[in-house]
Amino acid sequence: MLRQLTVRDFAQVKFLDIELEGGLTVITGESGAGKSILFGALGLVLGARADNSSIRPGAARSEVSAEFDLSKNPAALRFLEDHELGDPDLAGRCLLRRTVTRGGRSRAYVNGTPVNLKDLQTLCDGLIDIHGQNEHQSLLQRSVQLTLLDDFADAAELATEVARTFRAWRDAVAELARLELALTTSNDRRELLIYQIGELDELALGSDEYQSIDTRHRRLAQADAMQLRIATALEGLTNEDSGARAALGDAAANVFDIDDDDPALGAARELLSVALDHIDESAVELRHYFESLNSDPEELARLDARLERINELARKHRVRPQELSGHHQGLINELRALGADADSVETLRSEAESLANDYRLQAAQLSKARRGAAPEFEANISAHMVQLGIKSGALQLEFTAQEGESGLESVDYLIVTNPNYPAAPLARIASGGERSRISLAIQIVAANRSRIPSLVLDEADVGISGTTADTVGRLLRQLADHTQILCVTHAPQVAALGQHHLNVAKGAGHDTEIVHLDREHRVEELARMLGGQEVTAKTIEYARELISAAAPEV
């Protein structure tokens, strides 16, 4: 359940820190005081879309924190454990925090650890259920109507599994259709690949063969010219009369005959010695290279023919010659993939059939649970409608066969408000005020079966007063025996039945403030609600009577 809500710089709130308890907490205040701001702040910390327009004027960012006690919520505790988000100091505690900056950037934290919005929303789906002022409008949606029935039938998990299986089946069918179409249109491609791979197989080009052949071919093609050049170089290096070595030898002899210890002369002598050594070494290497240059016309012709075939196929396949070997392997892989797709079609067809069978089995179980729970669901809501002042009111469920993500049927809520007229859809037969009361009846019935431990109602009793408002308060009070309820109300009869009472008002600087009311201040607040701006002794007395009448239950 929700233990604490802290709000900083959100809308008209500078700072609020509210401690909350179990049971029924009523929230009252004059119009415009900021009661609905609480719902906006709570929605933000639970994962609603962030909007920087909600930041208090003059502030750089807004921040909302909510502390939950999860000691009796095993599903939420399991989520925290699976995502390593638990509080190491107190296992049952969960602290949510959300910040929004002026730049529109939003951050979310669970027990101090940053999380993405999807994980935050997944966690919070099982913590608290918020019903806004226009909640009755959502009742017109078939998906919402079906979800409420599933909750009542204790089939929410089964409905989730049915939806998951249906989506997997649908995706498998779509992928199967894609593969079948791909195979149908790939026959020409398959034949082309077989032909292209065949001629490349015949070439049998190695991965680095082209570079080796090209290098060897260039050497053989230039062998005669290269031998001539090397012979000329050797002559220049080794000729004893006019070669480079002869010139260097004469220079060295002259230098070494000088009798002087000057360092510069010593360095010159050393360099001349090294130069003579290098000339000798160069001559040796050139002779080795010269001897390796053998002219081989037959090999040259063979290499020339192979290079021509390599270049021909490279042009044909529109790749560079050095890329031809890799291209060959790529074509082989593509042909294998086409063969794998053919195998995948049969595998996927079998998988789709299996998923279809699973879906229909699960959906049949869900349908049985829905139809089995429908009479009790109808009876309970009908009884609450009568209690809430809709005389002769009754709910009837109409099932329509419709295979899809929600199962094998859709459901319509048909309403009877006058026994002289047949049941008709909620949108056609009920007025706005009646829809509000019908919505409240459904919320109360659904919440009695819901596993969500906290329920927040924003003016669910709008348009209700007198005896009916007292009935609403007592129904909420009964529900609060096992569900934490926060209820914004304008009805003093409902407010009197709250176990805890929060009052929202404008403080200094027109900031929204919230305070817990003790018994005497509750009397004053109820008197204001009964008499408006003018609080009289009579309204004070009536307020005391309301609280006293509720005392045995509060």
| Domain ranges within the chain, ordered by starting residue | 188-338
- Residue 127 and residue 92: Cα distance in Å, rounded? 13
Task: Give the pLDDT of residue 516.
Answer: 92
Structure tokens that stand for 205 in this block = 């080009």
Task: Give the pLDDT of residue 530.
Answer: 86
Query: Which residues does the chain have with pLDDT short of 50?
Result: 136, 553-554
C-beta separation of 110 from 123 below 8 A: yes
At 151 the three-state DSSP class reads: helix
C-beta separation of 57 from 39 below 8 A: no
Per-residue 3-state assignment (H helix, E strand, C coil) for 186-243: CHHHHHHHHHHHHHHHHHCCCCCHHHHHHHHHHHHHCHHHHHHHHHHHHHHHHCCCCC
Task: Give the pLDDT of residue 136.
Answer: 47
Task: Give the pLDDT of residue 237.
Answer: 75
Task: Give the pLDDT of residue 341.
Answer: 61
Which residue is associated with the tokens 């919070």?
124
pTM of the model: 0.60
Task: Give the pLDDT of residue 158.
Answer: 94
- Residue 13 and residue 9: Cα distance in Å, rounded? 5
Residue environment code for 483-509, b if the CB has 16+ CB neighbours within 10 A, otherwise e: bbbbbbbbbbbbbbbbbbbbbbbeeee
